[in-house]
Amino acid sequence: MQRRTWGIALAAVGVVAVAGTVVGVVAAGSAPEPAATRAAAPRSVSPTPSPTPSATPLAAVPAAPSAEQLAALPLAFHDAVVPQLLDGTHVHPENQWTIAVPNAALVALYAEPSASAAPIATLASTVSTIDTPAATAVWGRSPGQDGGMVLVSTPARNRTPGDGGDPTAPSATFAWARAADFTLTSADRMIQVDVAASTVSVVGRDGAVSATEAARLGTPDDPTPTATATYVEAAYVDARVTYTQGNPIILTGAHSSRIAQYGGNAALTALHYYPDPTGSSHGCVRISAEMTKTLAQLPVGTAIQFT
């Protein structure tokens, strides 16, 4: 009986041992399966969106002056001297092939393209003394709100020859203006006066010359402007100027660099007909009757470059 009981006990121990082994296998079997047997389903990954670049804010422009402020400013017309106006020592004009027509009777001019700039003068929508519609040429742009600001020609001087003992003065002046104060239109032609070659030409934006001829210019004492950017201020007929014989006078925004006054005005430079085919002018550009008619067909505000 005792042996049988021991045997049962041994058998029970054996069963426990086997059971322990099974438990061990089951425990081991709970470890992760080989990678090949448990590949996860692919997951879709959404791309990270790129940040949207923020736009650079446009520069502000000066606030529009009131009518009272405009009326108190000096008018930049062809007999005026406004010392704050700019010349070639302040700016480097580049033809923008754009004509600017004032949107109001008076528009403000500035010495710099800045929101804090104070107006220094005005430009009128009509040409003083002859009362014809005015326009001017654009020589630079400054981006900003409401179209930014434009660098335009003015018909005034910023000083006269002899001021401060200097026998010369700039032939042309410029100023900045609010683009919103003008109607801007594209130009496809300009006038080029080659002083060294004594020629006048109409040049297209593509460089093509549509008209050209020899011209009679000023002398060293009464020179025609050179290295000067300006514009057609007016094209008109004045019967009082008898030597033009009824042909158009092309008035420019440039002045003599050496003569303070001539013919009752501030020594303005014009392109006009003169019957004597010989001799020199007092700084004006003498051309044929046919060329005066050709130039008169160009819009007021057309750019002129004296080289």
Q: What's the one-letter identity of residue 296?
A: A
pLDDT: which is higher, 146 or 51: 146
Q: How confident is the model at residue 23 (pLDDT cuts 50, 70, 90)?
A: very low
Structure tokens at 42: 């692919």
pTM score of the predicted model: 0.82
Mean pLDDT of the chain: 87
Q: How confident is the model at residue 3 (pLDDT cuts 50, 70, 90)?
A: very low
Looking at 78, 92, 282, 284, which residue is catalytic?
284
Q: How confident is the model at residue 35 (pLDDT cuts 50, 70, 90)?
A: very low
Structure tokens at 162: 């002899």
Looking at 90, 92, 255, 272, which residue is catalytic?
272
Q: Is 272 tagged catalytic?
A: yes
| Mean pLDDT within 23-49 | 49
% of the chain residues with pLDDT over 70? 82
The pLDDT of residue 124 is above 60? yes
Domains of the chain by residue range: 67-186, 189-306
% of the chain residues with pLDDT over 90? 78
The class that CATH gives domain 189-306 is mainly beta
Q: How confident is the model at residue 44 (pLDDT cuts 50, 70, 90)?
A: low
Q: Is 255 tagged catalytic?
A: no
